[in-house]
């Protein structure tokens, strides 16, 4: 069941998420609040979508999508695939279809 959030609260939550995302540092209470918003997003598809949009906006604003970063992300994806495949070799996971 979708988590019902009042329409007026959507904007507040999204603004709050954006404000948290732009901070240089996160305190414990700010991190807790971030988690609360993300937990709401897990069960509300509209909020989830809006947060994804904010993440793209923040990534551009903080220069985290420049060509250097994209190059590193590509490498990290490759590293992750290797690492998780090695987990399969270790028989830690079974019946995974992750990279088919």
Partner 1 sequence: MTDPIHFTQAKKSFESEISRLLNPKNEKEKAASNAFFAYIKRLINQFDLYTATPDDIISEAYIRAVNFIKTREVEIKSPEAFMKTISVNVIREMNRKQIKFSSLEPNELELKVKLDDFSTNLVYEDCYNSNSNSIKVAIQKLNPIDRKIIFLWKVEELSWKEVVKELSSSGENLNVVSARKRGQRALERLRKELN
19 sits near partner 1 (criterion: CB under 8 A)? no
Site size toward partner 1 (CB under 8 A) is 47
Choice from 9, 11, 12, 96 touching partner 1 (CB under 8 A):
96
Choice from 13, 35, 46, 50 touching partner 1 (CB under 8 A):
35
84 sits near partner 1 (criterion: CB under 8 A)? yes
Closest CA to 5 of 32, 56, 31, 39: 39
Q: Are 50 and 10 in contact (CB under 8 A)?
A: yes
Q: Which tokens belong to 82?
A: 């290797």
Choice from 18, 23, 29, 91 touching partner 1 (CB under 8 A):
23
Phi, psi (rounded to 5 degrees) for 15: -65, -40
Choice from 9, 11, 12, 82 touching partner 1 (CB under 8 A):
82
CA 11 to chain centre: 19
């Amino acid at each position: 069941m979708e988590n019902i959030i009042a329409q007026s609260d959507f904007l507040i939550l999204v603004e709050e998420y954006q404000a948290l995302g732009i901070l240089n540092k996160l305190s414990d209470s700010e991190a807790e609040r971030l988690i609360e918003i993300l937990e709401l997003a897990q069960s509300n598809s509209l909020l989830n979508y809006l947060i994804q949009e904010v993440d793209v906006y923040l990534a551009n604003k903080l220069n985290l999508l420049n060509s250097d970063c994209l190059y590193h992300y590509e490498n990290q994806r490759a590293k992750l695939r290797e690492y998780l495949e090695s987990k399969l070799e270790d028989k830690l996971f079974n019946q995974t279809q992750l990279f088919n």
